[in-house]
Chains A and B, each alone.
Chain A
Amino acid sequence: MDINLFIVQFFNALFFASILFLISSGLSLIYGIMKILNLAHGALYMVGAYITFTVVILWLGLSWYSMVVAYLASIAVVAALGIFIERVLLKPLYNKPQDLQLLLTFALIFILDDIVKMIWGAQYKAFPTIPGWSIPVGDFQIPIYFIVTVFIAIGVGLFLHWFFTRTTYGKMVRAISYSLETSSLLGINTDRLFALSFALGAGLAGLAGGVAVPLYTASPGMGGDAIVLSFAVIVIGGMGSILGAFVGSLIVGFSRVFMAILFPVFEIALIYVIMAVILMFKPTGLFGMEMRERR
């Protein structure tokens, strides 16, 4: 492979891995804390993409300033949506069979896909240009936006690490993920923490959508691909582990991008082969802890 092409694809893979990390860390932390596999997580990512598109392209115009405003708007809207889903829709199902939560989050995919179609129409929403300038590499260009995205992903990873290890809230959240009963006996308000965790996970999906939209265009079915790849990420990395989501995203991102060039036939297949092999030999994933049944 040409060295310049290699460099460009390297950054491509890093960008893709960053988006994957933002999506899958949210999915993973919701599963780790609440034992809910949120099938609608990809749909939340889609909503985030549309919010950022609307704020930047339809309202403020393309600039770094409007991008920041749009990201914050995406996080806020999707986190609020997350709180609604957790408090109103999921809470009544906590003492029922787990299949029902799965069914409900699947129904949400249909609902959110169509609501998006109602508001924004069925056409693809593409950014006219990627924000910021580019770095030339031979005949190719690497948008500075790629590098910014990588820093956002690393920043979010560090924030999550700080949040879960240094803040009281974070420590309480970890406590409830170990034992819900003991935590509530110790006086932790588990209701509020569940809402907070779900909002945090959903907010990350919203941010992921916002960051992805300048390159990946927004469309009503975009959540479907995202959610399956995120499953692969959290299974490889270990469900409930932020570090796992980080490493898993890099594995999935790089194998996808480089397989697409080297062996196009196995582009997607390799990811699932890796996932299956890891599950067979280390079912908890690379960095996952042994999961205990809680309910």
Chain B
Amino acid sequence: MRIPIDKELYSLLILFLFLAVMPQFLSTYNVRLLSVGILYGLAAVGFNILYGYTGLISFGHAMFWSAGAYGIAIGLVKLNLDPMLSILLAFTLTFVVAVTTGYLSLKHTEIYFAMLTLAFAQLIYALIIKLRDITGGDEGIYGIPRFPPDIEQYYYLVYIVAFALVILAWWIVRTPLGLGFQAVRDNPYRAEALGMDVGRVRLISFILSAFYLSAAGILYAPLNRAITPDIAFWTFSAIIVIMTIIGGSKNMFGAFIGGLIFIYINTQAMNLTEFWQLTLGIILALLVYLAPYGVVGIVDRVVDYVRKR
């Protein structure tokens, strides 16, 4: 099946072209922040496979980001494995967590599904806190080595992986598999009647989505050089949901810029005032009223308006 190139792909390509030259104009500190922004965007894209395209809201996606980040950190720091084996460890961990929690939580949908994912994520959080010898407990894991150590080079590693995975996500949701996700989202009964295995389609979407989060987590741990259990707490799961809604869950472009915008707002709020949470909260609240379909929704409205003139 040939997939036609559309506006969304062009928007993504332009955005990534822009991101390719950005480090030339930024300080090292801001390059680091932009790397985090790209990883958040990648996480939102992964989350959106499940949320925007399959119609399931998970409140526990922090567990997959953590599975990736803790997997690689444990491999590199605690077990002294080489990077490839550490990544393999992280993905194995993610796979085990995703298959188990996915199989169990997908017995339900809607709010019950959200609650089950939240419960499993909190269980993982509790384990991270308590299994001190492996995870470092409250203090987390420090001194994670970075390859390449230079922040600007590392930025391009993050950039290339994110670029490939975001375009892959754009492609996947247009393949028969991705169309299956959307069929299940729009009308699971009809999809079932047409002979689709709804449960299996949902599970595939869940696992795929988990791997995106894990990939972002795997890149995040060395970038930050240290990880703490905060990345497994439910507030981080909520932030993943929120970035996706801010950008717009309608498509992958929206989700991706949601991550960038979130980091931007967060950083600006932190720089401007001691009360950055308040500023962030007010901006989030304003977005709810002014941009209910995310930033992508605003762009669509502007385009419509210009066309009508």
Q: Which B residues are CB-close (under 8 A) to A107?
A: 280-282, 284-285, 288
Tell me, yes or no, whether B199 is within 8 Å of chain A by CB: no
In the complex with contacts A106-B284, A114-B281, A224-B235, A272-B126 CB distance below 8 A: yes
- Among A18-26, A52-60, A97-105, the stretch in contact with B: A97-105
B241 touches A114 (CB 8 A): no
Interface residue from B115, B278, B289 paired with A231 (Cβ < 8 Å):
B115
Interface residues of A in 82-104 (CB under 8 A from B): 89, 92-93, 96-97, 99-100, 102-104
A171 contact set on B, CB distance < 8 A: none
In the bound complex, what is the Cα–Cα distance between A235 and B122 (angstroms)? Answer: 14
Cα A273 to Cα B104 in complex, Å, equals 12
Q: Is B120 an interface residue (CB 8 A)?
A: yes
**CB contact under 8 A between A110 and B284, given known A272-B122, A276-B123, A279-B112:** yes
Interface residue stretch chosen among A66-74, A172-180, A184-192, A263-271: A263-271
- A interface, how many residues as a size bin? 35 or more
Known: A110-B280, A113-B277, A231-B118. A103 touches B130 (CB 8 A): no
Q: Could you tell me which residues of chain B, from 104 to 160, have a CB within 8 Å of some CB in chain A?
A: 104, 107-108, 110-112, 115-116, 118-120, 122-123, 125-127, 129-131
Inter-chain residue pair count (beta carbon < 8 A): 110
CB pair A108 B292 closer than 8 Å:
no
Report the minimal beta-carbon distance from B73 to chain A, rounded to whole angstroms: 21
Q: Of A106, A111, A267, A272, which one neighbours B282 at CB under 8 angstroms? A: A111
Provide the bound-state CA to CA distance between A272 and B126, in Å.
Answer: 9
Let me know if A228 and B278 touch, CB within 8 A: no
B201, CB-defined interface residue at 8 Å: no
User: Cβ of A279 and Cβ of B116 under 8 Å apart?
Assistant: yes
Report A119 CB to chain B, min CB distance, Å: 11
Q: B111 contacts which of A37, A113, A117, A275 (Cβ < 8 Å)?
A: A37
Contact check, B288 vs A93: say whether CB atoms are below 8 A apart: yes
**Complex Cα spacing A106 to B104, Å:** 27
Instruction: Write out the residue numbers on chain A whose beta carbons fall within 8 Å of the beta carbon of B276.
Output: 114
CB of B165 within 8 Å of the partner chain: no
Contacts of B288 in A (CB 8 A): 93, 100, 103-104, 107
B238 contacts the other chain (CB 8 A): yes
Interchain CB contact under 8 A, B104 and A280 = yes
Q: Does B67 contact A (CB under 8 A)?
A: no
The answer to whether A268 touches B285 (Cβ under 8 A) is no
Residues of B contacting A: mostly: helix
B129 engages A268 (CB within 8 Å): yes
Q: A273 to B120, alpha carbons, bound, how many Å?
A: 8
The closest CB in chain B to the CB of A104 belongs to B288
> A99 contacts B285, CB within 8 Å?
no
A113 contact set on B, CB distance < 8 A? 277
A269/B126 in contact, CB under 8 A? yes
Kindly identify which residue among B125, B127, B238, B275 contacts A39, using a CB–CB cutoff of 8 Å: B238
The verdict on A115 contacting chain B, using a C-beta distance below 8 Å, is: yes
Q: Is the CB of B278 within 8 A of A279?
A: no
Cβ of A272 and Cβ of B275 under 8 Å apart?
no
Give A39 to B241 CA distance when docked, in angstroms. Answer: 13
Asked whether A118 is an interface residue with its Cβ less than 8 Å from the other chain, the reply is yes
**What is the CB-to-nearest-CB distance from A227 to chain B, in angstroms, rounded to a whole number?**
8
- With A228-B122, A269-B123: A96-B292 Cβ-Cβ less than 8 Å: yes
B120 and A110 within 8 A (CB): no
In whole angstroms, what is the CA distance A231 to B123 when docked?
13
Given A100-B288, A100-B292, A276-B120, answer yes or no on A115-B126 (Cβ-Cβ < 8 Å).
no
Q: Which of A37, A92, A266 contacts B130 (CB 8 A)?
A: A266
Chain A residue contacts of B123, Cβ below 8 A: 269, 272-273, 276
Encode contact with B along A107-141: 1 for CB under 8 Å, 0 otherwise: 11111011101100000000000000000000000
Residues of B within 8 A of A106 (CB): 238, 242, 284
Q: Write 14 A-B pairs (CB below 8 A) sorted by A numbering.
A: A96-B292, A106-B284, A110-B278, A113-B277, A114-B278, A117-B277, A118-B275, A224-B233, A235-B115, A268-B129, A268-B130, A272-B123, A276-B104, A276-B119
B residues whose Cβ falls under 8 Å from a Cβ of A: 57, 104, 107-108, 110-112, 115-116, 118-120, 122-123, 125-127, 129-131, 233-235, 238, 241-242, 245, 275-278, 280-282, 284-285, 287-289, 292
